[in-house]
Amino acid sequence: MKKYALPILMVTIFEIVAVVLWLTKDNIFYLFNFTYIGCAIALGMVLFVKRYKHARRIVQLLVGLYMLVYLGLICRENMQIEGFWYYLFTGVFEAATIHYAVAKIFGPLIFGRGWCGYACWTAMVLDFLPYKVPKAPRKKIGWIRYITFAGSLIFVSALFLMKVGNLERIMFWAFLVGNILYYGVGIALAFAFRDNRAFCKYICPITVFLKPMSYFSLLRIRCDTDKCVSCGACRRVCPMDVDVTDNSRKRVNGTECIHCMECVKNCPKGALK
C-alpha cells in the first residue's frame, strides 16, 4: 500500500478541492472537473509505480486534451494567461481564475511544476518532438518570459481601458490565436535549439508564477547521497537541466523540475525518489 500513498494523496487533495468548490460555488461542474483531473493524475502515478513507460504521457493526453478541447474549444473558456487576467479584472472567481490558483499559483507549493509535466496542453504536443533531452547547452534568454508575461497583461488591460465590447468573443479568439502562436513558436524553437522544452525554458509567461512558487514545493525529487556514485546519468536524461543530486532548494534549475521522473527511472543505484 505504501507505494500507492502518493496517488492516494493526489486524489484526496483534488477531491477536497472538488467538493469545496462544488459546495461553495453551488456548481456541480467543479466536482466533475477536479475529480476527473485528480483521477487522471493518480492513474498516471499508479502506472508509474507499475513501471509502465508511457505513464506520464497518458496523463498528459487525458488532462491536456480535456482542457484544450472540452474546456477551451467546446466550453469556450480562455484558460491561457489572458483568460486569467480577464476573469481577474471582471472580478469573476470562476474557471480560469480557479484553474490558475490551483494548478499554477498555490498548487505548486505542494506539487511543484507537476502541471508542466502532466497536464499542460502546449507541452503535450512539444513532448512528441524528437529532442526529449536537450542537445545543446541552455541559453541565457529566460528573461523573454517577463516580456510575454507583461505583453499578456498589457493586452487584456488595453481591452478594458478602451472599453472594447463583446469581450467574451474576443477572449475566445485570443485563446485560439494564442494557442496557434504557442504551438508555432514552441515547435520552431524546439527544432532551432534541439530541445523540446525550449518554449518552457525561455518563453512561457506562466513560469513567472510557476518558478517562485515551486521553489517551496513540498514534493521534490530527493537524492540519497550515500547511494549516489556521481555517474551523471540523471543530469543527462533531464529535459530541464536540473541538478537533482543537490538536495538544497538552490539546486541548479531546481524550479524547472517538471516531475517527469526520467532521472528516477535512469538512476543505476536507485538513489533518487
User: Which residue of 49, 232, 246, 249 would you call a contact of ligand SF4, by CB under 6 A?
Assistant: 232
Q: How near is the Cβ of 176 to ligand SF4 at its closest, in Å?
A: 17
Q: Does 59 bind ligand SF4 (CB under 6 A)?
A: no
Calpha distance 194→257 (Å, rounded): 19
**Amino acid occupying residue 49:** V
Which strand (E) or helix (H) includes residue 6? Answer: helix 5-25
Q: Does 75 bind ligand SF4 (CB under 6 A)?
A: no
Contact 127, 57 (CB under 8 A): yes
Among 23-31, 39-47, 63-71, 202-210, the segment contacting ligand SF4 (CB under 6 A): 202-210
Q: Does 41 bind ligand SF4 (CB under 6 A)?
A: no
With H, G, I as helix, E, B as strand and everything else as coil, classify residue 82: helix
Q: Does 230 bind ligand SF4 (CB under 6 A)?
A: yes
Which string of x and - marks every residue 104-123 that binds ligand SF4 (by CB under 6 A)? ------------x---x-xx
User: Which residue of 204, 209, 213, 255 would you call a contact of ligand SF4, by CB under 6 A?
Assistant: 204
Return the half-sphere exposure (C-beta side, CA atoms, 13 A cut-off) of residue 214: 25
Q: What is the dihedral of CA 244, 247, 248, 251, to 10 degrees?
A: -10
C-alpha cell at 46: 499508479
Q: Does 260 bind ligand SF4 (CB under 6 A)?
A: yes
Q: How near is the Cβ of 173 to ligand SF4 at its closest, in Å?
A: 20
Q: Does 67 bind ligand SF4 (CB under 6 A)?
A: no
Calculate the CA 125 to chain-centre distance: 13
Q: Does 263 bind ligand SF4 (CB under 6 A)?
A: yes
Contact 172, 76 (CB under 8 A): yes
Contact 114, 7 (CB under 8 A): no
Taking the least distance from each CB to ligand SF4, the nearer of 81 and 159 is: 81
User: Which residue of 108, 114, 234, 255 would you call a contact of ligand SF4, by CB under 6 A?
Assistant: 234
